[in-house]
Every structure is written in structure tokens, then in C-alpha cells.
Amino acid sequence: MTRKEFSILTYLEQSKDSPSQRAIAEGVGVSVGTVNKILSALRENNWIDSKQALTEAGYAALEPYRAKRVIFLAAGIGFRLLPLTVNTPKPLIRINGERIIDSAIDAALAIGIEEIYIVRGHLAEQFDQLLAKYPQIRFLENPDYQETNNISSAMCARFLLQNAYVMEADLLIKNPAILKKYHYTSNCLGVPVEKTDDWCVISENGIAKELTQGSTNCHHLFSIYYLTAEDGAKLSHHIDQVYHSPGGKERFWDFTPMVYYKKEYHIEVIDCQMGDVFEIDTLRDLRAVDSVYGLI
């Protein structure tokens, strides 16, 4: 399937009615002539019917591109949120009455993700409370979370990375639409900024070229990655190699595809906006989204 065929097929899959060729062209970012040509090809392949609705064959053609699982890295102690995290894992802290991690789980379920994995460590047993609302969750235990960086959590999930979202569990997702059901390539989410002192991605033609802390004309990075089947399979091996290299246990997991083996991956940077996601690292972050924490 070509990229343009994929873009138009997924656009049609998301449409509630039969959009005009001009609407498709505007939505996908191609010419009307290109839309006309590709619609003809989709019909020839029996991927859409005369009303531009996807057929069973169309859904089967998209299946290799579907997000099938999400992996939450949730083992850390959350030192910058002490004393709250003494008795509560950071992902389970409530904001306006809802646990932080619930927003991301709900967003994943909304796009039909079937497998939900949580890598846990600090106060691991407390995550069991999630099963009442989300009985499909499966837990992966990280016994090394106190002595390692989050690459040890990725090690626990390294054989589950195909067709998978991988994200930190302290992200409050305010715009669930940033998670997509289908992906043509591996990608990460970022906000275009002129300058940031935070973790960011420098890209070229939409492809990540450098992961760094602080830069200009870059993307402020949110730790939400999607990995295709091919890249997820490669990454299971590469993460193991980095983890067992000198100093490897001190690494962030995403340095593996974004830094150490970046020549073997083409990770697209997908634009999002400030306000789509809030990363909850500190009490200041909490106070910004829930005034009750102003009392702490």
C-alpha cells in the first residue's frame, strides 16, 4: 500500500459519510486529481465500495498498520512529586477526581486498542485497583526500577513492541484524538516551538534526526511513541544490547531508536499542540491542572 493510498483509506475509515473528492483532498493534503486516481485504485483493489465505504478487504489491508497494544512505563518512584508519591504511584494520583493514567487508557480504548500493559515497580500492588475499571490490563513487573532508568521497564516489555504505543504513565491526555488507530510509520508526538529548555526533537523533512535537551526550531517532545511491527521487532534486540552495554542501565529507553541506533529507524515527528497533553512531573504541574494541590 502506498502512503497516499493509506492516507485516503484511513481518511475514509474515519469519515461518517461519503466525503467529496475536494474534502478528501483538503483533509489529506493532496490534489483533487490525485484523489480521483487513488479512489479508482482503491475500488479496483476492492478496498472501498461505490459509496466509498471500506469493505472487508479494505479493513484487512489496513490491519498491518493498526495499533494493537499500548505499553505504559509506570515503575518509577516519582521523586519530584514527593511527598505525594510516598504512598501513591504517580500514575494513580488523581487530578480533578480522575487518576492520571485513566486519561491515556481511555484514549487507547477509544481507538480500539485491545492489549494494555503496565510495567510497574514502585508500590506495584496499588495498580491492581485499575482492574475494577479495566479488567483487560496486564501487568509486567520491573524488579530493577530503583537501580535503573526507564530502559529497564522497556526491557520488561521488549517482546511486545510491535504495532505498539509506548508512553510514560504520567501523561494527562486532554485531547484523545492525538492517538491514532492506524500508522504508516513509527512516530513520536511533539509541539513545534521556537525554543525550549526541555527534551526536544530536531527533525528534517518530518523525520527525527536528533533527541536533545534544549534547542531552537524543534519539537517539544512528549513521551508518546508508536512503533510499527518491523521497528518494534528490531527494537526488542537493540534495547537488550543497550541495556547490557557499559552504563546501559542508566539510559532512557527512547535513546535506543532515537540516538544509539537512529540510522536504523525513520521515526516521524507528528505535530500536536500545547494543551493536548500535560506531563505531570512536579507539584507545580499538578497545581496548574487541579487547584486542590495549591494547599500542599
Q: What is the pLDDT of residues 97-125, one digit of tens each?
A: 999 999 999 999 999 999 999 999 999 99
Omega cis (within 30) before 83? yes
**Which residues lie closer than 8 Å to 291 by C-beta, 6 or more apart?**
none
Place of cell 541506533: 261
Q: What is the dihedral of CA 128, 130, 135, 137, to 10 degrees?
A: -80
Sorted by where each begins, the domain ranges of the chain are: 3-64, 66-295
pLDDT value, residue 295: 67
pLDDT value, residue 240: 97
Under the banding of pLDDT at 50, 70 and 90, the label for residue 17 is confident
- Maximum CA extent, the chain: 63
Rounded to two decimals, what is the model's pTM? 0.94
Q: What's the mean pLDDT in 149-174? A: 97
Domain 66-295 CATH class label: alpha beta
pLDDT value, residue 293: 84
pLDDT value, residue 291: 86
Count the neighbouring beta carbons within 10 Å of the beta carbon of residue 33: 10
Rg for the chain, CA atoms, rounded: 20
**% of the chain exceeding 70 in pLDDT:** 99
Q: What's the mean pLDDT in 263-269? A: 96
Under the banding of pLDDT at 50, 70 and 90, the label for residue 40 is very high
Retrieve residue 265's grid coordinates: 529507524
| Alpha-carbon distance values, 156 to 68, 74, 120, 150, 251 (Å) | 18, 12, 10, 10, 15
Fold type of domain 3-64: Arc Repressor Mutant, subunit A (1.10.10)
Under the banding of pLDDT at 50, 70 and 90, the label for residue 296 is low
Q: What's the mean pLDDT in 137-148? A: 96
